[in-house]
Amino acid sequence: MSEFKLLVTGCKGRMGQAVISAAAAQGVPVGAGIDVGDSLSDALSKCSCTIDFSSHHFTNELLTESLRLGKSLVIGTTGHTDEELAQIKEASKTIPVVFASNFSVGVNTLFWLTRKAAELLGPDFDLEVVEMHHRMKKDSPSGTARTLVEILADVRGLDYDTDCRHGRFGDVGARTPKEIGVHALRGGDVVGDHTVVFANVGERVELTHKASSRDTFAGGAVRAARWLADKPAGLYDMQDVLGLK
């Protein structure tokens, strides 16, 4: 295919519409858009790369068709099961995939700063992550919050499943030195707020990112799709796209 064209899934939804607008702003043609009930195969055959912000339940079908047709893929959905994550990793051995919990340049800067702060502040600081999203968000914690916790766990040599504490209720006892707390708030139309707290006796450091528009995520996803155009098979994230690694 001579001309690079995007396929936008969930094209009637809020993120789908934001991606279409972002593509137009960056001069990237949208070859097709699909929503519930539309043919993925027909649409994908006309396009070079898919940007998907629909649902992780659609991931398997999307991977299957992208592999069959040899198309690149940008995945922005969250809440994947371990099986779905394994499928993404396996598919990336054959096609180029950008898979990220957040496509905002600001959030990816937050990822970078979080790692640096954790390294500099050391083990004496307690670690907590707080996120807030709109009332319609289905998964918890957000994919971005999970990435932040995973970064902190990596620096500290901890494990997400073992050392992450999802909220606190009742007589849970004193905070342990190893745990990383993560707290999810839901309400209103909040696009996405994330704060990483480093708390020690006598001082506290907080890193915060607040998104006020979905356009920042959509623009980053289109940028990622453009970046993928000449890349070999592999599993990439926005840190790769932005040159932060």
Q: Which residues are annotated as a binding site for (S)-2,3,4,5-tetrahydrodipicolinate?
A: 134, 143-144
Catalytic residue among 5, 137, 178, 231: 137
| Terminal Cα distance for the chain, rounded | 31
Active-site pick, 56, 71, 80, 133: 133
Distance CA 197, CA 16 (A): 32
Specify whether 133 is catalytic.
yes
Structure-token pair, residue 11? 């094209």
116 is catalytic: no
Q: Which residues contact 198 (CB under 8 A, 6 or more apart)?
A: 117, 118, 121, 125, 126, 127, 204, 205, 206, 207
What residues have CB less than 8 Å from 243, skipping those under 6 apart?
none
Residue with tokens 């499928």: 87
Which of 223, 17, 221 has its CA nearest to residue 99?
221
Q: How far is CA 153 from CA 35, 84, 108, in A?
A: 37, 22, 17
Return binding residues for NAD(+).
10-15, 35, 76-78, 100-103
Q: Report the greatest alpha carbon distance in the chain.
A: 63
Q: What is the DSSP string of 63-108?
A: HHHHHHHT-EEEE------HHHHHHHHHHTTTSEEEE-S---HHHH
Question: Known binding site: residues?
Answer: 10-15, 35, 76-78, 100-103, 134, 143-144
Give percent helix, percent strand, percent coil of the chain, each to the nearest 5: 40, 25, 35
Distances (CA, A) of 99 to 50, 230, 235: 12, 17, 7
Catalytic residues: 133, 137
